Amino acid sequence: MSTMRKSIVREILLYKYRYGMSLLLFGICLMSLLLLRNDLAPGGLSLGDMNAAAHSAGLTLTQLHTSPIVDLPYHLIQKTSLHFLGITEFAVILPSIMFAIVTGATFLFMVYRWFQLNVALITGLIFITSATFLSIGRSGEPTIMTTFWLSILLLAATNVLHPEGKTRIWLLIAILILPLSLYTPLMIYPLIATGIAALLHPHVRFALRSIKPVVFIVASLYIATALIPLIMSCSVDPTQITTLLGLPSQPLTIQVVLDNARLVGGSLFNLWDVAIGIIPQPLLGAASLIIVLLGFLKTVEDRFSARAYMLLIWSGLMIPLIIVNPDKLLIFLIPIYLYLAIGIETLIREWYRLFPANPYARLTGLIPLVILLGGIMYSNAVQYFGGHFFGTQTTVYSQALRQTTALITSPAYKNKPLTVIVKPEETTFFNLLSKQYSNIIVASQAPSPVRTTTIIHDGAVIPTDYRPPIMIVPSHRTNEHQVVLRIFTP
What H or E segment, with its residue span, contains residue 44? none
- The verdict on 376 and 438 lying in the same domain is no
In a domain, 445, yes or no: yes
Helices (H), 115-238: 117-129, 131-137, 145-161, 167-181, 188-200, 202-209, 213-226, 228-236
Q: For the segment 82-107, what is each residue's pLDDT rounded down to a tens digit?
A: 999 999 999 999 999 999 999 999 99
In a domain, 395, yes or no: no
Q: What is the DSSP string of 221-232?
A: HHHHHHTHHHHH
In a domain, 3, yes or no: no
Question: Residues 333, 147: contact at Cβ < 8 Å?
Answer: yes
Mean pLDDT of 328-340: 90
How many structural domains is the chain composed of?
Answer: 2
Check pLDDT > 90 for residue 146. Answer: yes
- The verdict on 259 and 168 lying in the same domain is yes
Type of residue numbered 365: G
Q: Which residues contact 98 (CB under 8 A, 6 or more apart)?
A: 77
Of all residues in the chain, what percent carry a pLDDT higher than 90? 32
3-state helix, strand, coil in the chain (%, to 5): 65, 5, 25
- The verdict on 181 and 236 lying in the same domain is yes
- The verdict on 102 and 239 lying in the same domain is yes
- The verdict on 143 and 289 lying in the same domain is yes
How far is the C-alpha of 470 from the C-alpha of 478, rounded, in Å? 22
**Residue 292: closest CA among 456, 107, 123, 69:** 123
- The verdict on 447 and 358 lying in the same domain is no
- The verdict on 268 and 354 lying in the same domain is yes
Q: For the segment 267-323, what is each residue's pLDDT rounded down to a tens digit?
A: 777 766 666 666 777 788 888 889 999 999 999 888 777 678 778 888 888 888 888
How far is the C-alpha of 383 from the C-alpha of 258, rounded, in Å? 28
Mean pLDDT of 435-461: 81
Residue 341: pLDDT band by 50, 70, 90 thresholds? very high
Mean pLDDT of 376-382: 84
Question: Residues 100, 133: contact at Cβ < 8 Å?
Answer: yes
- The verdict on 412 and 384 lying in the same domain is no
Q: Looking at 222-226, 339-343, 354-358, 379-383, which range is the least confident one? A: 354-358
Mean pLDDT of 22-40: 88
More confident position, 67 or 188: 188
Q: Considering 357, 390, 423, which residue would you say is the last residue of a domain?
A: 390
What H or E segment, with its residue span, contains residue 484? strand 483-488
In a domain, 1, yes or no: no
Residue-range definition of the domain harbouring residue 459: 400-488
In a domain, 303, yes or no: yes
Degrees (nearest 5) of the Cα angle 306, 119, 338?
45
For 301-434, strand residue ranges (E) read 418-421
- The verdict on 141 and 115 lying in the same domain is yes
Q: Which long-range contacts (CB under 8 A, 24 or more apart) does 59-64 make?
A: 64/229, 64/233
How far is the C-alpha of 134 from the C-alpha of 44, rounded, in Å? 15
Check pLDDT > 50 for residue 132. Answer: yes
Q: For the segment 226-239, what is each residue's pLDDT rounded down to a tens digit?
A: 999 999 989 888 88
- The verdict on 382 and 441 lying in the same domain is no
Question: Residues 125, 132: contact at Cβ < 8 Å?
Answer: no
Question: Residues 43, 397: contact at Cβ < 8 Å?
Answer: yes
Check pLDDT > 80 for residue 241. Answer: yes
- The verdict on 320 and 212 lying in the same domain is yes
Task: State the distance between the two ends of the chain, measured CA to CA, in whole angstroms.
Answer: 89
Per the rule left: phi > 0, alpha: psi between -120 and 50, beta: everything else, 165 is: left
- The verdict on 378 and 430 lying in the same domain is no
Type of residue numbered 396: V
